Amino acid sequence: MPTDGRVLDLEAAIGEVFAVDGVSLRGRGKVVVFSGQYLLEPEQVYEAIVDDFRALGFVPLLRNEDGRDVLVAYPAPDDARSGRRWVNLALFVATVFSVLMAGTWQSLPPSIVIESVPELVRVMVDNWALGLPFAVALLGILGIHELGHYFVARHYGLNVTLPYFIPFPLNPLTGTLGAVIRISSPFKSRKALFDVGIAGPLAGLALAVPVVAMGLAQAELVAVPTGPDASITVFNEPLLFQWMALLVRGPRAAGVDFAMNPLLMAGWWGFFITALNLLPVSQLDGGHISYALFGDYHRYVAWGMFLLAGAVALMANPGYMLMLGLVFMMGIEHPPALNDLTQLGLWRRVLGLLALGLFFLLITPDPFSL
């Protein structure tokens, strides 16, 4: 049994809440693992020892391995700065500009013919107000999604940055690659992991759904061009979009479809981005929710969905392979929360399963087609 001073100090800190019957070291001796039995409920054990562990330079991880209670002491990560806010502001301003330009480009009347770069600049400057509805709606959806994560993370005392918006002026469809926040603290419990993970998609959808509804209400029904010379881009509709279209506008006649307007375009992208985030793998929002629901069994969900998504990408749209490659580099499985034993409760479980089900209502195997 290891007997160095830090092990004795940690054992003294857990003496009243954990009966120790074995101690081992992992991770080149940096991680201390106590096996035994919890004397209180896991949530009470965690709250009783977390401050003492922090003072000793460790964070506690509560687990059950092979039917035995295990309490793991990990070296505490360095406190990261919350980030430089001028970077968040600069990226946001750049993203506003690029999204506004994308919205303006999409909204230009077909009668405008542009034959040179100077003329393009003049037309975009003269018509910038046309891009406002798209920019406000899309940035609103992205922003409220990330702020949902941000405020819930702050509620749990996590070290979290403000959203980083990502401008992408070369993409005329959106003008952005989305937005992210950075959480440098480990999640204290599966409840915290669940609440932070689900807050973003629910907040974003709370705005995306009415945006889609308003876009549908304003959308013009047009005849779909046919024939060998016809060439249009079709934004394929996820199930939730189809149901909302039926509710708002009723059945569409054969050969007739909605012309995309700025609000409808922004709402469609809001659905698509939310779907990608709800994929239950890695540390995406869906991965947070899946691990909180299923614990160690989440790996079967994660690998199953990753392989299914890869098959769909190969058959329907290879463009998805870029995202799946990034996910693979991040790691398919999700790391555990510090208190990995406290259960979510019935209502969180129901809400989590419904949220994961939303993935199938919001995703389209092939987003665009000609």
Question: What integer is the mean pLDDT of 89-96?
Answer: 94
Owning domain of residue 10 = 5-75
User: What confidence score (pLDDT) does residue 303 get?
Assistant: 94
- Kindly state the average pLDDT of the residues 280-308: 92
- Does residue 32 lie in a domain region? yes
Residue 219 lies in a domain: yes
Instruction: Average the pLDDT over 300-314 and give the result.
Output: 91
Q: Is 251 left (phi over 0), alpha (psi -120 to 50) or beta?
A: beta
Sign of CA dihedral 171, 172, 177, 179: positive
What's the pLDDT score for residue 360?
Answer: 93
Same-domain pairing of 52 and 111: no
SS3 161: coil
pTM: 0.86
Q: Is residue 95 part of a domain?
A: yes
pLDDT in tens, 11-48: 888 888 888 888 888 777 788 888 888 988 888 888 89
pLDDT at 289: 95
Residue 102 and residue 171: Cα distance in Å, rounded? Answer: 7
**Residue 309 and residue 174 share a domain:** yes
Helix, strand, coil fractions of the chain, as percent rounded to 5: 55, 15, 30
Closest Cα partner for 32 from 73, 93, 76?
73
Shared-domain flag, residues 64 and 136: no
What tens digit of pLDDT does each residue of 186-221 get?
888 899 999 999 999 999 999 999 999 999 999 888
Helix H or strand E segment including 72: strand 68-75
Residues 352 and 203 in one domain: yes
Same domain, 281 and 244: yes
Cα 207 to the chain's mean position, in Å? 16
- The pLDDT of residue 2 is above 70: no
- Taking residues 328-353, report their average pLDDT: 88
- Do 65 and 166 fall within a single domain? no
Please tell me which residue, 361 or 66, carries the higher pLDDT value: 361
Does position 368 have pLDDT exceeding 80, yes or no?
no
For the stretch 239-284, pLDDT in tens is: 999 999 999 988 888 888 888 899 999 999 999 999 999 999 988 9
Same domain, 64 and 89: no
pLDDT band at 4 (very low <50, low <70, confident <90, very high): low
Out of 75, 97, 113, a domain closes at: 75
Q: Are residues 180 and 224 in the same domain?
A: yes
CA gap 308, 328 in Å, rounded: 14
Give the total number of structural domains in the chain. Answer: 2
Whether 80 is covered by a domain: the verdict is no
Pick from 22, 53, 75: which residue ends a domain?
75
Alpha-carbon distance of 87 to 140, in angstroms, equals 19
- 277 and 202 housed in the same domain: yes
CB atoms within 10 A of CB 349: 15
Which of 75, 101, 130 is the endpoint of a domain? 75
One domain, residues 295 and 173: yes
User: Is 120 inside a domain boundary?
Assistant: yes
What's the pLDDT score for residue 318? 82
In the chain, what percentage of residues exceed pLDDT 70? Answer: 95
Is residue 82's pLDDT more than 60? no
Indicate whether 353 belongs to any domain.
yes
Check whether residue 124 and residue 66 sit in a common domain.
no
Q: What is the pLDDT of residue 233?
A: 75
Shared domain for 71 and 136, answered yes or no, is no
Q: Are 179 and 164 in contact (CB under 8 A)?
A: yes
Write the CATH number for 10.
3.30.1360
pLDDT of residue 259: 86
